[in-house]
Chain A
Amino acid sequence: MRKHKAFPVTQFLLILVAVLLLLPIAATLILSFFSPEELKAYLATRNSFSGDRMMEIRLIPREFSLLQYYRILITDQTILRGFVNSALYAIAIIGGQILILPMLAYGLSCFRFRGRDIIAFSIVLLMVLPFQVTMVPNVLTLRTLNLLNSRWAVILPMLTAPFSAFLLRQYMLSIPGELIEAAQIDSAGPLHCYIRIVLPLSRPVIGTMIALSFAECWNLVEQPLVYLTLRPDLQPLSVTFGQLTSQIRGIEFAGAALFILPSLFVYMIFQDDIMEGVQIIGIK
């Protein structure tokens, strides 16, 4: 064991980093409790180029108000509709990935067969290709299958997240071979071994996969912009929110807070899994 010394400077710097990272999110939450009129008036002071006029830095509302939330939840549901779209995409994509990817990784890690390494290598290649490249094959298939401008256009190509497949496989490769051999000796079939041994052991990395996929699904921008050009009604909130807030209506920050909220939940649930799941990245 190394001795536990106190490192005041390190600690101070780290807390500074954490505060800077949390500040934008905290500011969003605070601004969501401004009354719509106050928020409108505040945001109207943006983009003023005359003389020395500056925006105030306001961290406390003049009066605490839930009116922004009331408006986005009850009276004006445009934000809510986008939210529902986003949730649909996230649930469909993550659900599909949970079904498909651990099975794929299991096949590529606990079996020996010809072509295994080629498949694994091509997944790594896919992983390092930027979106600008992989978008093109996706578009070509979606066009051929006539799926452009439907929800499937966003969901189907995302079912095979190469990075998640890679993570899962690395993790399963590290499962001790004896465990699987023991199952073989008990003449348990591969399906039994998958459900009883591999899946339960892979829980942390599956949690990591869910959290990473959620980050991706909750922030879909490029895909819906390209695949859903004709269907503004199917766009997720991650796209429409930017358009909705181009004219100030005094409800922006409650909308933003509502949009961030599920991220907080996902993070709280899967935090420990992520810490455990990424450990595997270092092991080659």
Chain B
Amino acid sequence: MYRTKKVWLFLFPGLLALMIFYFIPFVGGIRYSVLDGSFSNRFVGFENYRKLWSNSMFLLGLRNTFELSLICAPLLWLLSYLTASGLARIYPKGVFVRSSVLLPFLAPSSAVILVWQVFFDYGGPLNRLLTALGGERILWLNSGAMRLPIIIMFLWKNLGLCTVIFLSAIRSVPASYYEAAELDGIRPFRRTMNITLPMIMPSSYLVFILAWINAFRIFREVYFLSGSYPDLTVYTLQHYMNNVYGKLDYQLVTSAAYSFAVLVLLIFGILFLLQQRAANEING
């Protein structure tokens, strides 16, 4: 460890950028959310927030963003855990699978959307499969059913990164633990519950947070499929922010951002405390 003032030379460029683009305006922006934005710029207290929280489009976007992310994040967490534990099981085999899972994460959404449009078309392969199985065709891309394609596209894109993180966590569990369990004749399911999951707790918490943050960003695919004003079931918070920003209403934009920040930090804080508590229980 160095203890010298020279550290500030290394920190300077990064801290400067963080200060200018995040911390200072984050604090300074609070001003906008408590002034009325008119020529005289009166102090109005929580008036903007009251207006925001009674705006039906904001509430719709917030609800959709939370609903979509609460479907997507746990699903992604589970699927990537399953994929990773499968991969860990057959390791060192599975090179092909390991090297293809991350590819969707790097492919740009707007390029792949074309294929999805064909896949989910009213006469496309998915509906073909449905009718072959004796079902009814569904209007995937222009109706309330649009949530399913959005969820599938999200999982497709994000499965790889979460799988890779899980895989390295599972592989770092000492093999001797499993050998001992095997000698004691412990069944695979209990092995998972009593060894693997507790051992990879910090990573799995991080994967969950990552999955959730990414799920909050569900917007691109919706935007490419149906623009700024999509079906009401997939109208996200980002749509609301963009549309309000387009009207240059800084009062509402800032109020929305701070409201959302408080909500998110509250949730992640509670999750973190729960994780800590569980970890303490295991260790002591």
Contacts and interface: CB of A to CB of B under 8 A. Distances in A.
Interface string A24-57: 1101100100000000000101111100011101
A180 interface: yes
Contact of B15 (A17, A24, A119): A119
A1 B18 contact: no
A99 interface: yes
Given A28-B115, A271-B102, A274-B102, A279 B168 contact: yes
B114 A282 contact: no
Interface secondary structure of B, over-half rule: helix
A87 B11 CA distance: 28
A225 interface: yes
B245 interface: yes
A77 interface: no
Nearest to B13: A100
B25 A278 contact: no
A108 B261 contact: no
Nearest to A225: B242
Contacts of A157: 21
Interface in A268-284: 271, 274-275, 278-279, 281-284
Interface string B1-24: 111101110110111011011111
Given A10-B90, A18-B100, A48 B122 contact: yes
Contacts of B98: 275
A21 B25 CA distance: 40
A238 B22 CA distance: 25
A80 interface: no
A152 B111 CA distance: 25
Nearest to B159: A21
A257 B108 CA distance: 10
B103 A263 contact: yes
Given A136-B254, A282-B202, A238 B264 contact: no
B49 interface: no
B36 interface: no
B165 interface: yes
A28 B117 CA distance: 12
Interface stretch (B37-45, B70-78, B143-151, B215-223): B215-223
- Chain B CB count within 10 A is highest, among A132, A141, A165, for A132
A257 B257 CA distance: 36
A144 B31 CA distance: 14
Interface of B: 1-4, 6-8, 10-11, 13-15, 17-18, 20-26, 28-29, 32, 83, 86-87, 89-90, 93-94, 96-119, 121-125, 127-128, 131, 156, 159-161, 164-165, 168-169, 172, 175, 178-179, 200, 202-203, 206, 209, 213, 216-217, 219-220, 223-224, 237-238, 241-242, 245-246, 250, 253-254, 256-258, 260-261, 264-265, 268
Enumerate the 6 nearest inter-chain pairs by beta-carbon distance, A residue then B residue, closest first: A104-B14, A137-B25, A107-B10, A263-B106, A256-B111, A136-B257
27 contacts: A10-B86, A10-B90, A14-B97, A17-B83, A21-B101, A21-B160, A24-B107, A48-B123, A99-B13, A133-B260, A137-B29, A138-B21, A160-B14, A160-B22, A189-B6, A190-B4, A191-B6, A214-B106, A218-B106, A221-B220, A222-B242, A225-B242, A242-B110, A252-B114, A260-B108, A274-B102, A282-B169
